[in-house]
């Protein structure tokens, strides 16, 4: 089962977005989606029967002008979006995740994850976290680690909460989608390699973030972040040219209708270009790869309210649409 999207006046900013859809019992296919919820099958429109969203991103510099022309023409076999299932917009080869990139979020987590025996007043611990954030910004040291593509699920699919996950939490994030192979990019050039942007919810089991059996190892991102379905993605890839300023977008997550996260990407310590550049200094970025840019304040640890069976998360980012996912507890038997 999945949570159906609700109709809205405009699905996203700009004249079109890229999606991966399927008809009932049919294969997934790349699609051009218009803001008024019409769909064009790009296999037919581009004469590429075996195309996927990722193969289109492989040829993004050639494909993008053709998509602009198709959106302007509004011809072809347009069909209502409601006739199709919406999948994650792309199957990336690599997922780069950013930790500790929103100032207030990191301060909140620092306070919530109080070390055993640390009885200092909250104000003192907050001041310590703020000093750490200022130092990281001054030293220009982002924090990037890898996620698994197998954790990705669709923007309206149910999210199964594993029986072992004691503290499942939400983390809504802006994700940059890479459109050209890239290695060792400068910050000044980095955004030229971004095809577009989408929404990611980087779910995390807080109870397994740290290896308590061997604290010297530190964080365990495999266990805490990479269960199947722990990264709802989409609904669309909005081309970068339609996003005026990725460093000034509103990131909002509602839990059962109540706003939990509501912050601008202006609160990021390291902006989108810096995160893409930093990831590329070590790894070669490939078309379709995702660079998640961190999550703002307002996670479940802050509120003292973590995810449970039946919860519905609604995540939105300015101009990128809305994803809506329901949490379902795994059958412990």
Tens-place pLDDT, residues 231-248: 999 999 999 999 999 999
Closest alpha carbon to 107 in 132, 123, 127, 129: 129
12 in a structural domain: no
Lowest mean pLDDT among 129-138, 139-148, 307-316: 129-138
Domain count, the chain: 2
9 in a structural domain: no
Say how far apart CA 135 and CA 80 lie, in whole Å: 51
Q: Are residues 128 and 50 in the same domain?
A: no
Q: What is the pLDDT of residues 108-134, one digit of tens each?
A: 777 776 666 777 888 888 888 888 888
Say how far apart CA 127 and CA 133 lie, in whole Å: 10
Q: Kindly tell me if the per-residue pLDDT of 146 is higher than 60.
A: yes
pLDDT at res. 177? 98
Q: Are residues 48 and 76 in the same domain?
A: yes
Q: Are residues 189 and 45 in the same domain?
A: no
pLDDT at res. 169? 97
Q: Are residues 104 and 69 in the same domain?
A: no
54 in a structural domain: yes
Q: Are residues 201 and 147 in the same domain?
A: yes
59 in a structural domain: yes
Work out the number of other CB atoms within 10 angstroms of the CB of residue 7. 9
Tokens 């990019």 found at: 185
Q: Kindly tell me if the per-residue pLDDT of 282 is higher than 60.
A: yes
Q: Are residues 80 and 118 in the same domain?
A: no
**pTM for this model (two decimals):** 0.92
The CATH number given to whatever domain includes residue 144 is 3.90.850.10
Q: Kindly tell me if the per-residue pLDDT of 139 is higher than 50.
A: yes
Lowest mean pLDDT among 92-106, 127-141, 293-307: 127-141
185 in a structural domain: yes
2 in a structural domain: no
Q: Are residues 65 and 42 in the same domain?
A: yes
Helix axes 103-112, 122-139, angle to 10 degrees: 140
Confidence of residue 10 (pLDDT cuts 50, 70, 90): confident
Q: Are residues 81 and 112 in the same domain?
A: no
Domain edge (last residue) among 86, 111, 140: 86
Q: Are residues 137 and 120 in the same domain?
A: yes
Confidence of residue 3 (pLDDT cuts 50, 70, 90): low
Work out the number of other CB atoms within 10 angstroms of the CB of residue 23. 13
Q: Are residues 181 and 230 in the same domain?
A: yes
Domain edge (last residue) among 26, 59, 86: 86
Its domain, for residue 297, covers: 95-329
pLDDT at res. 8? 47
Q: Are residues 117 and 69 in the same domain?
A: no
pLDDT at res. 100? 85
Q: Are residues 35 and 146 in the same domain?
A: no
10 in a structural domain: no
Say how far apart CA 74 and CA 63 lie, in whole Å: 17
Lowest mean pLDDT among 63-67, 111-115, 257-261: 111-115
């Amino acid at each position: 089962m999945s949570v159906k999207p609700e109709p809205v006046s405009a699905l996203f900013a700009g004249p079109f977005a890229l999606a991966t859809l399927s008809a009932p019992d049919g294969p997934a296919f790349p699609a051009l989606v218009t803001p008024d919820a019409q769909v064009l099958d790009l296999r037919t429109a581009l004469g590429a029967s075996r195309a996927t969203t990722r193969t289109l991103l492989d040829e993004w510099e050639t494909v993008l002008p053709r998509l602009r022309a198709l959106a302007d023409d509004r011809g072809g076999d347009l069909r209502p979006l409601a006739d199709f299932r919406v999948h994650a917009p792309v199957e990336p080869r690599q997922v780069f995740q950013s930790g500790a990139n929103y100032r207030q979020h990191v301060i909140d987590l620092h306070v919530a994850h109080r070390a055993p025996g640390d009885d200092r007043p909250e104000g003192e611990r907050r001041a310590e976290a703020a000093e750490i954030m200022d130092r990281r910004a001054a030293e220009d040291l982002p924090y990037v680690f890898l996620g698994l593509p197998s954790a990705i699920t669709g923007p309206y699919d149910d999210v199964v909460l594993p029986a072992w996950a004691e503290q499942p939490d939400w983390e809504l994030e802006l994700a940059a989608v890479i459109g050209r192979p890239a290695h060792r990019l400068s910050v000044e050039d980095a955004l030229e390699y971004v095809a577009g942007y989408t929404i990611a919810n980087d779910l995390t089991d807080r109870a397994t973030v740290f290896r308590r059996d061997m604290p010297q190892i530190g964080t365990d991102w495999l266990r805490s972040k990479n269960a199947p379905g722990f990264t709802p993605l989409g609904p669309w890839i909005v081309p970068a040219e339609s996003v005026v300023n990725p460093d000034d977008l509103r990131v909002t997550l509602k839990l059962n209708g109540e706003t939990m996260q509501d912050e601008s990407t202006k609160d990021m310590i390291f902006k989108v270009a810096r995160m893409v550049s930093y990831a590329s200094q070590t790894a070669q970025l490939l078309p379709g790869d995702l660079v998640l840019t961190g999550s703002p304040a307002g996670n479940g640890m802050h509120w003292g309210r973590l995810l449970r069976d039946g919860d519905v998360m609604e995540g939105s980012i300015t101009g990128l649409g809305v994803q809506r996912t329901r949490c379902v507890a795994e059958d412990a038997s």
